[in-house]
Amino acid sequence: MHDLTRSPDAPAAARHPALVHFALAMGGFAIGTTEFATMSLLPYFAPGLGIDEPTAGHVISAYALGVVVGAPLLAVLGAKLSRRVLLILLMASFALFNGLSALAPSYPLMLLFRFLSGLPHGAYFGIASLVAASLVPTDQRSQAVGRVLLGLTVATVIGVPLANWMGQAIGWRWGFALVAVLALLTVVLVWCLAPQDKPARGTSPLRELGALGNGRVWLTLGIGAIGFGGMFCVYTYVASTLLEVTKVSPGMIPVALGVFGLGMTAGNIIAPRYADRALMPTAAALLVGSAVALALYPLAAGTFWLLCLDVFAIGFGGALGPVLQTRLMDVAGDAQALAAALNHSAFNTANALGPWLGGLAIAAGWGWASTGYVGAALALGGLAILGLTVLDERRRARA
């Protein structure tokens, strides 16, 4: 079976695949730090920009919107570039716009810079996942993608608590400046370590757009867009929940965020091993586990150690990312780059949807911890779409 993730003009193997995976994961570390740290810094940059916390949540949604728009747009526009060159350009622009976010003097400009910062996010992860998968045997693709996304999960253990601490100690702007430095480091690593390649023969924006007519691609994206919303719904407001419901000191927030990151890291190490053997059952198990953990969140919010255990379980569900990325490689046909990038559009649709629905529940007076119930409903919604996907596959098999 021909591996469609592998460009015909790309090297079949790299001398040091682990080093390439590390370089790609560094970009994930930078992206994960800004994506999740912005949520945890919300209580600090809101007063800094002269706005309330619900309004500050729009800054997070602006970034997510940038990912949704930028992932397909940049993947299509970059179709004729080599993957290595495209990765370098994407991460250089990511560094620029995060640096500008650190300097934003007003709320409107902050919205603009966060939107622009989000544009390279999905295309970077999509192309990086294809590069990582192209360097390993076909039956190890989920694990290779998991290594790239491991950068994002390690960011939730190290980068996010560090950015949150910096936000408290020396100002929230330093959190965005840190991300700009990490992105520049990624540019250097990818330049030095990623294999030299050429654009695949016949690649064109039109061929990439073929993914948009593929029903199996859309069903897979729907699983992520809805099912992942629960995690973002809770995570966006976890700092406020810790302060207002659990009643801990601000210094304990980085601890809880680090525990969440440990859960994501464990998930990205463990789940892809099962996904390479049973892809869709692994996705279903992750969604069921997420729904249970999210439903328990309001019950655990009153006690710090219980909340930490539950947040670990919610983070573990983040392993859905590499599982669905591999699924898209299987169903995307010739439109690998666009489909891979659209996966992160889907997750950032969830990143916009989850905080918005959670904010509605909080504004309605249901309390900070009510985000758990909203999140559980979203996870079950993703599970329902997965069920439709399985039925569609059986229908195709009979046909």
Helix or strand holding residue 7 (H, E): none
Q: Which residue has the tokens 């999509």?
A: 126
Cβ-contact 119, 70 below 8 angstroms: yes
* Homologous superfamily in CATH for domain 17-398: MFS general substrate transporter like domains (1.20.1250.20)
Can you give the pLDDT at residue 8? 42
Can you give the pLDDT at residue 140? 86
CA distance 300 to 394: 40
Can you give the pLDDT at residue 380? 97
What is the residue extent of each domain of the chain?
A: 17-398
Can you give the pLDDT at residue 200? 66
Can you give the pLDDT at residue 65? 84
Task: Bin 367: left if φ > 0, else alpha if -120 < ψ < 50, else beta.
Answer: left
Sign, CA dihedral 253-254-258-261, equals: positive
Which residue ranges of the chain lie beneath pLDDT 70?
1-15, 199-204, 206-207, 210-211
Neighbours of 62 (CB within 10 A): 20
DSSP state of 191: H
Sign, CA dihedral 66-131-133-35, equals: negative
CA distance 116 to 97: 6
